[in-house]
Amino acid sequence: MKDTKLTLSNKTVKVDLPDATGTNLKSVVVDSSGFLGIGFSGGGGGDNTPFNGQRPIVAAIPYLQGKTLGGTTTGAVLENFLKVLYPAQAPVATLSVANPNREVGESTAVTLTYGVAVKDNPIDSIVVNGGQRDPDVLTGVVTTATAVDTNTTFTMSATDSAGLTDSESVTVQYFRNRFWFRAAANLLTSSASEVSEILNSITSKEFSTSRAQTRSFTLDAEYIYFAYPVSFGTASFVVGGLPNTAYQFKDFAYVNTFGNSTLYRLYRSGNAGTGTITVEVK
């Protein structure tokens, strides 16, 4: 077999791999930006022509210099070369959950929807929430549950025949609402059940884990109210850029629409007002 021919120019590197007859069986052309292509030409020898691929590449070819491709024939070396340029891709796993953010007291039932996109190799294993699924069925639904009012993470993984793996996770979380609203009535004198009924009927609420917020109200001889779990701590108020110490509060047992009872704090502005007011809760 003739020696490998290496041609260098200002723009390209061309490596000719000769077969046993001396015919250029295959060539690799690389420019300064990387691999351009492999050339094929006729002649004897074929892919089984002996070739030593058990040595590092010494040619100054970007990304390839110093790599050992392996292989003892031109066919095996070029196959390994392509694997370097185009490494196998892992499968892609997808996992979603219905209703991931819930209010305390809501149903614990969980529906997981999973999917797997095959890339270069067949799928050997799909595991969803610790359970094996049929690797030939690439999409499906798994039903499970969380413990009551307990944040829970669910996982899945997909592994192909080459051992390449992708994994995904989703989390179901439980929250309590905080509320802000206006009303003409003095609700500090109302019962816990009356205040709960009002809170369950309004839409000015959001899941939260803290009391800090800034709200604007347009009042017509009305009080401003804030309500949140006592565990969020004691609030201070800034109105029109100035501290306001007139807010009063009471603690009460708030029962939400799911029957969960939590100790809440209801704050009321010191006086009923009229006009547009911005309040920061700190």
The Cα–Cα gap between 63 and 87 comes to 13
52, two tokens? 């030593």
Q: Looking at the structure, tell me whether residues 162 and 211 fall in a common domain.
A: no
Higher pLDDT among residues 133 and 10, named by residue: 133
- pTM for this predicted structure: 0.74
Q: Encoding tokens for residue 27?
A: 């060539």
Q: Which of 128, 147, 174 marks a domain boundary?
A: 174
Beta-carbon contacts of residue 259 (< 8 Å; ≥ 6 apart): 105
Judge if 261 and 185 occupy the same domain: yes
Which 3 state secondary structure label does DSSP give 75? helix
| Full residue range of the structural domain in which residue 117 is found | 92-174
CA–CA dist 177, 208 (Å, integer): 6
Number of domains in the chain: 3
Average pLDDT over residues 115-120: 96
List pLDDT tens digits, range 194-203: 999 999 999 9
List the alpha helices (DSSP H) in the chain.
74-85, 192-199
DSSP state for residue 49 in the 8-state scheme: S
Same domain as 271, residue 182:
yes
Are 189 and 267 within one domain? yes
Instruction: Fill in the DSSP letter of residue 160.
Output: E
Contact 78, 53 (CB under 8 A): no
Average pLDDT, whole number, for the chain?
Answer: 88
42 pLDDT tier (thresholds 50, 70, 90): very low
Coarse DSSP helix, strand, coil percentages of the chain, rounded to the nearest 5 percent: 10, 50, 40
Residue 115: C-alpha distances to residues 41, 132, 152 (Å): 44, 14, 20
Question: Each residue of 131-185: pLDDT tens digit?
Answer: 999 999 999 999 999 999 999 999 999 999 999 999 999 999 999 999 999 999 9
